[in-house]
Amino acid sequence: KPIQWFPGHMSKTRRLIKENLKKVDVVVEILDARAPESSRNPIIDELTGDKPRLVVLNKSDLADPIVTGQWMDYFASPEQHRLPVEVSSKSGQNLGSIAKGCRTLCEGAKWLSRRPVRAMIVGIPNVGKSTVINALAGRKKAAVGNKPGLTRDMQRLEVSPNLQIYDTPGILWPKFEDQAIGYKLALLGSIKDTILVLDEITTKGLEYMAVHYPDRIKDRYSLETLPDDTMELIEEIGRRRGCLMSGGVIDYEKAINLFLLDLRQGKLGRFSLETPGEERSFFSETIRE
């Protein structure tokens, strides 16, 4: 069920997370590696204060490795006790870096030799919080759903002799202020109940891919050149993939939906939607007045 976030939910969530954070040593913030800035809620900075934080760039199997490397540099901040790791919780790749990173963040603490590090996982919906918890716990433990906030009686799961995590993650709301963020999250399939016009967002996504990863579009849809005009490009894709209506007319909607599915399923290869320190997002340009 999609969440409807409203101010009541937000303040309750904020309160519960803040309360539960007192009981842990480390905050594990899960982000989507394809759009780390758009998939993070800065409220977490306020909530965690100076508690050590592991920033997990999850779904790195889907993201552009070069761009992910840039985000790793961007998030690394020993002064702020912040350490980034990149993982793919679905395949389990580099999952060990979570327990290792949590310990690194607590180095020097007196208790470290006596008990495991306690950590809590937080993030907006769909970044992969439950997948991370399940992968770490090694069993189907977290049936998390997408309800705002979290329950009070959370269990601590033993991940290893070195790490314990709560079985329930803190679910933050996505940032709503900036429409570019909404577009990116919608493209990634993270906002499912979008009131935004998905066709137009997808068209913008196609333009983005054609500019940043032109060869992927060419390869996937067997095109020798990419037409400058987006509608023509959609038409070409439709023609190649047999998206036709009666009378041989190209079915634009079908073609654009096919592209969206390909994008989300990683059929266009690994891509990222943003880089650190961007002045202005490609997705900030208004889609249509």
**Tokens representing residue 221 in the block:** 């849809």
Nearest approach, Cβ of 133 to ligand G4P (angstroms)? 8
Nearest approach, Cβ of 286 to ligand G4P (angstroms)? 29
Is 257 annotated in a binding site? The answer is no
Beta carbon nearer to ligand G4P, 33 or 250: 33
Give the CA dihedral 251, 257, 260, 262, nearest 10 degrees: -80
Q: CB nearest ligand G4P: which residue?
A: 128
Nearest approach, Cβ of 233 to ligand G4P (angstroms)? 26
Beta carbon nearer to ligand G4P, 71 or 243: 71
Beta carbon nearer to ligand G4P, 28 or 226: 28
With residue 159 as reference, give the H or E element that holds it.
strand 156-160
Is 126 annotated in a binding site? The answer is yes
Is 129 annotated in a binding site? The answer is yes
Beta carbon nearer to ligand G4P, 13 or 89: 89
Give the CA dihedral 57, 131, 62, 44, nearest 10 degrees: -30
Beta carbon nearer to ligand G4P, 128 or 174: 128
Nearest approach, Cβ of 86 to ligand G4P (angstroms)? 10
Is 58 annotated in a binding site? The answer is yes
Nearest approach, Cβ of 43 to ligand G4P (angstroms)? 16
**Tokens representing residue 224 in the block:** 């020798």
Is 170 annotated in a binding site? The answer is yes
Is 60 annotated in a binding site? The answer is yes
Nearest approach, Cβ of 261 to ligand G4P (angstroms)? 12
Beta carbon nearer to ligand G4P, 83 or 144: 144
User: Buried b vs exposed e over 190-223: b needs ≥16 C-beta within 10 Å?
Assistant: bbeebeeebeebbbbbbbbbbebbeebbeebbeb
CB–CB of 133/169 below 8 Å?
Answer: yes
Residues making contact with ligand G4P (CB under 6 A):
58-59, 61-62, 88-90, 123, 125-131, 144, 146
CB–CB of 175/42 below 8 Å?
Answer: yes
C-alpha separations of 274 from 147, 150, 242 in Å: 28, 30, 32
Sign of CA dihedral 212, 215, 220, 225: positive
The rounded distance, in Å, linking the Cα atoms of 44 and 59 is 20
Is 147 annotated in a binding site? The answer is no
State the binding site: 58-61, 126-131, 170
Q: Give the annotated binding-site residues for GTP.
A: 58-61, 126-131, 170
